[in-house]
């Protein structure tokens, strides 16, 4: 599952994984963890590949990865091909051998359908109107930061979208065989229902389209 910032792909991926009994990997967290660790190490981008290569599972459990600063740092390290290469095997292993014996995995990010798992049986590209995305992110951030400002968030999302789409290494792009799902006017339940009716019949060994997964 891929899509721009705050398009709804994270909640959707989590809910789909629950419904299907699959493992879920938010690959954005990996880039956020590299970005945050780089800031702590002084911010020299040349050190990002070595930080990515040494990333440990507990780094993804940090409480500060959801901040706007972490998102922005993530998109700056994510343009570096050596950083992406260092994180690729790890993501592929998760997809092919999901933890806890799960029968499958849902990964969400920017390049899952195009680079990490081009062979995935079900790909979804999630989009939404930029203002709706900014409002969603504002509501999330406001819970921990009462000073979160909608205009600044919108500017940050647009900047990040531009950087993610324009970069040479694994840019944000819809895979040819991905379903385009626009969540602008959908509730999360409606988005989950549409995503599952597309994905379920494509998942071998998974629930059939007629199974009551929703
Ligand atoms: O939650 P949100 O959609 O705002 O962002 P995220 O999924 O946590 O990703 C943060 C940043 O990491 C993105 O802006 C991308 O630059 C980068 N990223 C990436 O390059 N490739 C991925 N598979 C996932 C994230």
Q: Is the pLDDT of residue 210 over 70?
A: no
7-18: average pLDDT: 96
Show Cβ contacts of residue 62 under 8 Å, excluding neighbours closer than 6 positions: 33, 36
Q: Residues 36, 141: one domain? A: no
- Taking the C-alpha atoms of residue 172 and residue 62, their distance in angstroms, rounded to an integer, is 25
Could you tell me the pLDDT band of residue 77, with boundaries at 50, 70 and 90?
Answer: very high
Classify the phi-psi angles of 101: left when phi > 0, otherwise alpha if psi is within -120 to 50, otherwise beta: left
201-208: average pLDDT: 69
Q: Which domain holds residue 93?
A: 28-101
End-to-end CA distance of the chain: 18
Domain count across the chain: 2
Residue 144 is assigned to a structural domain of this protein = yes
Domain C-terminal end among 81, 101, 121: 101
CA 160 to ligand 1: nearest atom: 14
Q: Residues 53, 130: one domain? A: no
Q: Residues 13, 49: one domain? A: no
Average of per-residue pLDDT values in the chain: 93
Classify the phi-psi angles of 157: left when phi > 0, otherwise alpha if psi is within -120 to 50, otherwise beta: alpha
Q: Residues 94, 107: one domain? A: no
How many residues can be counted in the chain?
A: 214
- Taking the C-alpha atoms of residue 53 and residue 85, their distance in angstroms, rounded to an integer, is 9
Q: Is the pLDDT of residue 41 over 70?
A: yes
Buried b (16+ CB within 10 A) or exposed e, 43-74: eeeeebbebbeebeeebeeeeebbbbebbbbb
Q: Residues 63, 152: one domain? A: no
Ligand 1 centre and the CA of 212: distance in Å? Answer: 32
SS3 89: helix
Q: Residues 116, 184: one domain? A: yes
Q: Residues 107, 197: one domain? A: yes
Residues 174, 2: contact at Cβ < 8 Å? yes
Q: Residues 51, 127: one domain? A: no
Residue 211 is assigned to a structural domain of this protein = no
- For residue 163, the domain's CATH number is 3.40.50.300
60-65: average pLDDT: 93
Q: Residues 127, 80: one domain? A: no
Q: Is the pLDDT of residue 21 over 80?
A: yes
Q: What is the pTM for the complete model shown?
A: 0.91
Decide whether any atom of ligand 1 lies within 6 Å of the 94 Cβ: no
Residue 209 is assigned to a structural domain of this protein = no
Both tokens of residue 152?
């600044």
Could you tell me the pLDDT band of residue 104, with boundaries at 50, 70 and 90?
Answer: very high
Residue 110 is assigned to a structural domain of this protein = yes
70-93: average pLDDT: 95
- Taking the C-alpha atoms of residue 106 and residue 167, their distance in angstroms, rounded to an integer, is 24
- Taking the C-alpha atoms of residue 98 and residue 80, their distance in angstroms, rounded to an integer, is 27
Q: Is the pLDDT of residue 42 over 50?
A: yes
For the stretch 162-171, pLDDT in tens is: 999 999 999 9
Residue 175 is assigned to a structural domain of this protein = yes
Decide whether any atom of ligand 1 lies within 6 Å of the 78 Cβ: yes
Could you tell me the pLDDT band of residue 209, with boundaries at 50, 70 and 90?
Answer: very low
Domain C-terminal end among 51, 72, 101: 101
| Nearest alpha carbon, ligand 1 atom 17 | 75
H or E segment to which residue 117 belongs = none
Both tokens of residue 164?
């993610």
For the stretch 126-151, pLDDT in tens is: 999 999 999 999 999 899 889 999 99
Residue 212 is assigned to a structural domain of this protein = no
Residue 210 is assigned to a structural domain of this protein = no
Q: Residues 118, 198: one domain? A: yes
Domain C-terminal end among 101, 117, 152: 101
| Nearest alpha carbon, ligand 1 atom 9 | 28
149-159: average pLDDT: 95
Q: Residues 74, 149: one domain? A: no
178-207: average pLDDT: 91
pLDDT at 205: 59
Q: Is the pLDDT of residue 34 over 70?
A: yes
| Nearest alpha carbon, ligand 1 atom 3 | 5
């Amino acid at each position: 599952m891929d899509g721009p910032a705050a398009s709804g792909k994270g909640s959707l991926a989590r809910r789909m994984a629950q419904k299907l009994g699959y493992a879920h990997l938010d690959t954005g967290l990996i880039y956020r963890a590299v970005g945050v660790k780089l800031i702590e190490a002084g911010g020299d981008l040349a050190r990002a590949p070595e930080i990515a290569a040494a990333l440990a599972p507990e780094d993804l459990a940090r409480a500060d990865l959801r901040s706007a600063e972490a998102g922005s740092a993530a998109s700056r390290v994510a343009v570096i091909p050596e950083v992406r290469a260092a994180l690729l095997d790890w993501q592929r292993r998760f997809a092919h051998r999901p933890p806890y014996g799960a029968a499958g995995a849902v990964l969400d990010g920017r390049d899952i359908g195009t680079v990490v798992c081009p062979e995935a049986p079900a790909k979804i590209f999630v989009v939404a109107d930029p203002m709706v995305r900014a409002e969603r992110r504002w509501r999330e951030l406001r819970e921990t930061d009462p000073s979160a400002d909608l205009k600044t968030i919108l500017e940050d999302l647009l900047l990040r979208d531009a950087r993610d789409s324009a970069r040479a290494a694994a840019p944000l792009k819809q895979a040819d065989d991905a379903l385009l799902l626009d969540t602008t006017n959908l509730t999360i339940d409606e988005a989950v229902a549409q995503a599952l009716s597309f994905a379920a019949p494509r998942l071998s060994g998974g629930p059939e389209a007629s199974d009551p997964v929703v």
